Amino acid sequence: MAGKCIILDDYQNVATKMADWQTLDKSLTIECLHHHIRDRHQLVEALQQAVVIVVMRERTVIDRELLAQLPGLRLIVTSGMRNAAIDIAAAKEKGITVCGTASGSEPPAELTWSLLLALAKNLLPEQHNLTGNGPWQSSLGTTLAGKNIGIIGLGKIGQRIARYAQAFEMNVYAWSPHLTAQRAQEAGVTFVAEKSALLAQSDFVTLHLVCAPATQGIIGWNDLQQMKPSAYLINTSRAALIEQGALLRALENNVIAGAAVDVFEEEPLAADSPYRQSHHLLATPHLGYVSDSNYRTYFTQAIEDINGWLAGKPVREL
């Protein structure tokens, strides 16, 4: 089937370098879009000739309205096996196949731990910048050994964080809406039956839940008030897990000591977003899954998905 395979949001201009695209069926020509297209009309125009689109996680919303304007589209490939930005039901109604890829838990866990360490050692930009003639030793770090970490969500990433914390001699506690004492015990962590108890005793709280109706806004303003004034919150999972506006309000009012976030309600983050101005906040541009190993997996398996679909045998279909 002749046509275009368009790769969306290739921000780092690496998509064609991370896999052997020469193995892709020669009937398709590859085109990469390196900048996010926010305007819907421009996006429709850019995708008009697409038979296949390859999307990176949830950078671009592929909804029913957009699909209705892309009559030639036949296959969507997404990195990962979940993508809340794709209306899979609408795609299937239009006869569009949707496939995914594997995704490693190591990169997001490593970023989470990097952010936690940065908070603990007060490595915020306003505190440490030796490029100028700034202050010397103006902050006090936190020793992790003996501190309490509360993990909300004990899946693959949460369990990896637990092992990191144990290596740093921290006391590890976990809670989630469906976590059981047995599962916590199997992971070698202490089960906490109530969210409020975990928040009240933790020096660091890190979120590792899938975003669903039951977990949306699972950390609200009242929850943040239950945390220690000296505690830190880390969210590298989904922005919607925290009630919109609650974290910024907590930081402005010194309810908690600080936070680190890698995910936002709107991405890319707007230039005038208050997240860019908040004190005691370490913010990164959704780097959790952005790594060499994940990208090699994503794009190698994207090619497999496309060739499988062309052969009439889709793989990893969602």
* Total residue length of the chain: 318
pLDDT digits (tens, 9 = 90+) for 151-170: 999 999 999 999 999 999 99
Task: Report pLDDT for 36.
Answer: 93
Number of neighbouring beta carbons within 10 Å of residue 137 = 7
Query: What's the mean per-residue pLDDT of the chain?
Result: 94
Q: What is the end-to-end Cα distance of the chain in Å, rounded?
A: 22
Amino acid at 181: A
Q: Label residue 139 by pLDDT band (50, 70, 90).
A: confident
Stretch 267-275: mean pLDDT, rounded? 92
Q: Label residue 128 by pLDDT band (50, 70, 90).
A: low
For the domain spanning 3-104+291-310, the CATH number is 3.40.50.720
Q: Label residue 27 by pLDDT band (50, 70, 90).
A: confident
Element containing residue 232 per DSSP (H, E): strand 232-235
Residue 17 has pLDDT above 90, yes or no: yes
Q: Which residues are catalytic?
A: 238, 267, 286
Residue 133 has pLDDT above 70, yes or no: no
Amino acid at 167: A
CA distances from 108 to 104, 161, 231, 278 (A): 8, 10, 21, 23
List Cβ neighbours of 51 (8 Å cut-off, separation of 6 or more): 1, 2, 3, 4, 5, 28, 72, 73, 74, 75
Topology match between the domains 3-104+291-310 and 106-283: yes
Question: Could you tell me the residue ranges of all domains in the chain?
Answer: 3-104+291-310, 106-283
Task: Report pLDDT for 132.
Answer: 62
Q: Identify each DSSP E strand in 28-103 by its residue range.
A: 28-32, 50-55, 75-78, 97-99
Compute and round to an integer the Cα radius of gyration of the chain. Answer: 21
- Considering only CA atoms, which of 127, 123, 147 is closest in space to residue 205? 147
Handedness of CA 241, 246, 247, 250 (dihedral sign): negative
C-alpha–C-alpha distance, residues 191 and 2, integer Å:
55
Residue appearing with tokens 């390196």? 34
Residue 284 has pLDDT above 90, yes or no: yes
Task: Report pLDDT for 285.
Answer: 94
C-alpha–C-alpha distance, residues 61 and 91, integer Å:
13
Cβ distance 206 to 152 under 8 Å? Answer: yes
List Cβ neighbours of 113 (8 Å cut-off, separation of 6 or more): 161, 164
Domain boundaries 106-283, CATH class: alpha beta
CA distances from 225 to 62, 219, 234, 238, 262 (A): 37, 10, 15, 21, 22
